[in-house]
Amino acid sequence: MIEKFVNNQIKIHQGKYYINFSDMIISIIVDHVKSGVYAFQIIYDEEYTTDLNDYKEAILVKPLDWNKVIKNSYHFTHFGQSLWSYDGGTQFKYSQTETLKLDVGLIRELKLNGILSK
pLDDT of residue 50: 57
What distance in Å separates the CA atoms of residue 58 and residue 71, rounded to the nearest whole number? 21
pLDDT of residue 31: 96
Categorize the per-residue pLDDT at 30 as very low, low, confident or very high, splitting at 50, 70 and 90: very high
pLDDT of residue 64: 97
Which of residues 15 and 75 earns the better pLDDT score?
15
C-alpha R_g of the chain: 15
Evaluate if residue 12 carries a pLDDT over 90. yes
Q: CA torsion angle for 29, 33, 30, 59 (degrees, to 10)?
A: 0
Evaluate if residue 76 carries a pLDDT over 60. no
Evaluate if residue 78 carries a pLDDT over 80. no
Q: Mean of the pLDDT values across residues 25-49?
A: 90
Strands 19-20, 56-64: parallel, antiparallel or unpaired by DSSP? parallel
Q: Mean of the pLDDT values across residues 76-94?
A: 82
